[in-house]
Amino acid sequence: MSKQRTQVAIIGAGPAGLMLARLLTLAKIDVVVLERQSRAYVLGRIRAGLLESGTTDLLREVGCGARLDAEGLVHDSASLNFNGESLEINYLDLVGKSVTIYGQTEVTRDLMEANDASGIACHYEAPVTAIDGLDGARVRLTYLTHGQQHTLDCDYVAGCDGFHGVGRAAIPASVLKTYERIYPFGWLGILADVPPCGHELIYANHPDGFALATMRSNTRTRAYIQVPADARIEDWPDDRFWAEYKHRLGPVSKGVTTGPSIEKSVAPLRSFVAEPMRFGRLFLAGDAAHIVPPTGAKGLNLAASDVRYLSRALIAFYASGDAGLIDTYSETCLKRIWKATRFSWWMTTLLHKFPDPDGFGTAMQRAEFEYLKSSRTAQVSLAENYVGLPI
């Protein structure tokens, strides 16, 4: 028999929901996680790969650092490539911080295993279909399992249910303000069991479009190219992908090893922010509240910082009855989110090919690149945002 009452109900078992469950459980707050998809589906989603130090610190704090420290690849620099010309941004040297390559699939697996070991109630294939009582004394969630309807009562609900979830939709339209920019392209990404083309990530701006060389390990490559938003995977067999990718990387593509893809997907690019992130007893966290284009590698990292703030607020409330941090949750998160939104938009604007009838946008990209090459101050600004602003 599933529990019918908990302190905090968490919708979604992505990185935000799983991490929040972990943080609250460690503080002895009772939680139930409800996830629409199967566990295997959630584990199989290939997405983010780059973790800021604030995110790796958080994983270690919640007891999920062992595999990260053994298998994560620490990176001190990345390369920006403009039509074949390279600029190395050594962020360790510029701002004293590194980032870690460790796949979202691995983060998810580590959190799931730790949560299982703590006996956290996490129901898969259990979509939440209704949220009632947000402005009352107690919230009631309705969810389904095997076609059966159940209810779960809670003090608070965390909408960690991604961009297409039910959490944000439960906030009245008269309260919610959204901001959106849809970019006129997407990213086609592939995963292949071939060694990466070097030890650094390479972000390439090419007249034919953006390309990114990244990795999951020393034997697994992740590669992306900019494609039209309506591109179809069937039109991109592996040979065509690799040829275009190498063409866009230019001279550095000498080091590219090609091989059969084990995953291939197209992701649209958008910037989106919803305000406020709290309505009554509901909090939004992660992609449920905001989406950034992946160029700045901020999505998963923002999900982690949101739930860090949210856990602090709920822990303070249950410890002392003080709702101060609950009341400032939305404002505190949004300050950091808007800065990451700006950075992700800026990186996207700098590196992609946009419709540009008079060439002005392309000239601005070139000027920005020349400025970055000539100014350590500009490089410091890029680096401090890339490694993650302080939490």
Q: Of 197, 141, 162, 177, nearest to 303 (Cα)? A: 162
Determine, following the binding rule CB under 6 A, whether residue 186 of this chain makes contact with ligand PHB. Answer: no
Q: Round the CA-based radius of gyration of the chain to a whole number and report it.
A: 21
- Write out the two tokens for 58: 């958080």
Catalytic residue among 102, 183, 203, 224: 203
- Minimal distance in Å, beta carbon 201 to ligand PHB? 6
- Minimal distance in Å, beta carbon 48 to ligand PHB? 6
Determine, following the binding rule CB under 6 A, whether residue 226 of this chain makes contact with ligand PHB. Answer: no
User: What, of ligand PHB, ligand RFL, none, does residue 248 touch, CB below 5 to 8 Å by kind?
Assistant: none
As a whole number of angstroms, the distance between CA 49 and CA 68 comes to 12
Determine, following the binding rule CB under 6 A, whether residue 294 of this chain makes contact with ligand PHB. Answer: yes
Determine, following the binding rule CB under 6 A, whether residue 308 of this chain makes contact with ligand PHB. Answer: no
Neighbouring residues of 40: CB distance < 8 A, sequence distance ≥ 6: none
- Minimal distance in Å, beta carbon 260 to ligand RFL? 20
Does the annotation mark 206 as catalytic? no
Does the annotation mark 246 as catalytic? no
- With the C-alpha atoms ordered 156, 61, 325, 160, is the resulting torsion angle positive or negative? negative
* Alpha-carbon distance values, 98 to 94, 276, 295 (Å): 10, 32, 17
Does the annotation mark 28 as catalytic? no
Give the interface with ligand RFL as residue ranges (CB under 6 A).
11-17, 34-37, 42, 47-50, 104, 127-128, 160-162, 165-166, 187, 189, 267, 286-287, 294, 297-301, 303
Task: Pick the binder of ligand PHB from 222, 248, 308, 353 (CB under 6 A).
Answer: 222
Pairing of strands 177-192, 261-275: antiparallel
Q: What are phi and psi of 178, to 5 degrees?
A: -120, 150
Check if the beta carbon of residue 248 is closer than 8 Å to that of residue 210: yes
Scanning 47-55, 266-274, 312-320, 350-358 for contacts with ligand PHB by CB under 6 A, the matching segment is 47-55
Using the minimum distance from each CB to ligand PHB, give the nearer residue, 170 or 292: 292
- Write out the two tokens for 380: 């410091």
- Minimal distance in Å, beta carbon 201 to ligand RFL? 9
As a whole number of angstroms, the distance between CA 152 and CA 4 comes to 5
Does the annotation mark 203 as catalytic? yes
- Minimal distance in Å, beta carbon 69 to ligand PHB? 18
Pairing of strands 201-205, 211-217: antiparallel
Determine, following the binding rule CB under 6 A, whether residue 165 of this chain makes contact with ligand PHB. Answer: no
As a whole number of angstroms, the distance between CA 91 and CA 88 comes to 9
As a whole number of angstroms, the distance between CA 284 and CA 276 comes to 9
Does the annotation mark 164 as catalytic? no
User: What, of ligand RFL, ligand PHB, none, does residue 301 touch, CB below 5 to 8 Å by kind?
Assistant: ligand RFL
Active site residues: 75, 203, 294, 298, 386
Per CB under 6 A, residues contacting ligand PHB are 48-50, 201, 214, 222, 294-295, 297
